[in-house]
Amino acid sequence: MTSRLRVAILLGGPSAEHDVSLVSGAAVVRALDRDRFSPFPVRIGLDGRWSFEEAGADAGAAADAGSLTLAEALERLAASADVAFIALHGPFGEDGTIQAILEAIGLPYTGAGVAASAVGMDKPLFKRLVEGLGLPVIPWLEVSRARWLADWPGELARLEELARSAGDARLMVKPAANGSSVGMTLAHDADERTLALEEAFAHGPRAIVEAYAADAREFELAVLGSDDLEVFGPGEIFPGHEFYDYSAKYEEGVSDTTPRADVDAETADRLRHLALAAFRAVGAEGMARVDFLAPPGRLFLSEINTIPGFTPISLYPAMVEAGGISFAELCARLIDLGLARAGKSGASPP
């Protein structure tokens, strides 16, 4: 008889998405089948220190007392876990950093590998890649803090040309490598663009500026698997705010979503085709949520999220569940996929 698989649920993290990650991680801890798994939360603080909880502990109650440095934590993690379930969002957790760390200690983990995570998190890099492959993306520009400081009039002129070519003064301004709409601003006119860029630069040295897609529907699709891929959705978002900002994403009752968008068969097939193309383009594994903007008569690939939200109102698990896979089964399948990539079986040694 084999013992239960020891699963370290990594949650929190030193990013602006720390609180969202805590919710996602706690949901995974609750969902895992205790007959097969022995899950324990590993909370990474905003200060980068790690706290371990006993198997069966409530992830939301993880304490800071006795927290460990990275080196101490990795030694303990390697000794106490058979696999890591990464429930981290944003920088450090979703950009290839934690993936590289886990590779270094030889611990299998869920989701995409180092390269796919890095490309998926870096919005300009992702857009260059998929645009080069012929996938449709909305007109965009990258602005660095260095160029902004050296020649802000010239950079504003570039943004003005982007808005003029799109026929709309509004521009979406985002940090180049962040998630959950953190640091994202809709600049309605030229006067708001400076403040929007400064907000984006507060979260990193680069920003991405996109033309505004007026009257666009917002679709999301869920991709699951590594070799044999399944696609679920499209789902649709109905933002409760002017755009799908942080509170619209995570505060209950602000926005509406549906895991089954009301679209014709041709549009649904096109969305699924593009979602698979984006997933394969970055070399993703395990899971990803692929987002789209669809203004009247157009369809644009927006971004890929290699660690989508697993909160109670997150659309990724809702789309998968609408396709017949429960949340608990989804979590177990992601663990199995991570073990298979590492060439390991789904049970710990006797």
Active-site residue, from 67, 180, 255, 302: 180
289 is catalytic: yes
Active-site residue, from 17, 199, 210, 220: 17
Active-site residue, from 305, 314, 316, 338: 305
Q: Which helix (H) or strand (E) holds 327?
A: helix 327-341
Active-site residue, from 109, 212, 244, 250: 250
17 is catalytic: yes
Residue found by looking up tokens 């590594």 in the block:
226
230 is catalytic: no
Tokens of 2: 């084999």
The one-letter amino acid code at 290 reads V
CA dihedral 153, 172, 123, 70 (to 10 degrees): 90
Active-site residue, from 255, 303, 314, 333: 303
Residue 54's nearest CA partner among 39, 73, 75, 33 is 39
- Residue 295: Cβ-neighbour burial (10 angstroms; 0-12, 13-18, 19+): middle
- Residue 11 has phi, psi (to 5 degrees) of -145, 165
Active-site residue, from 111, 183, 309, 338: 309
109 is catalytic: no
Task: State the first-to-last Cα distance of the chain, in angstroms, to the nearest integer.
Answer: 6
Active-site residue, from 43, 217, 289, 333: 289
303 is catalytic: yes
Active-site residue, from 94, 178, 291, 333: 291
199 is catalytic: no
Catalytic residues: 17, 180, 250, 289, 291, 303, 305, 309
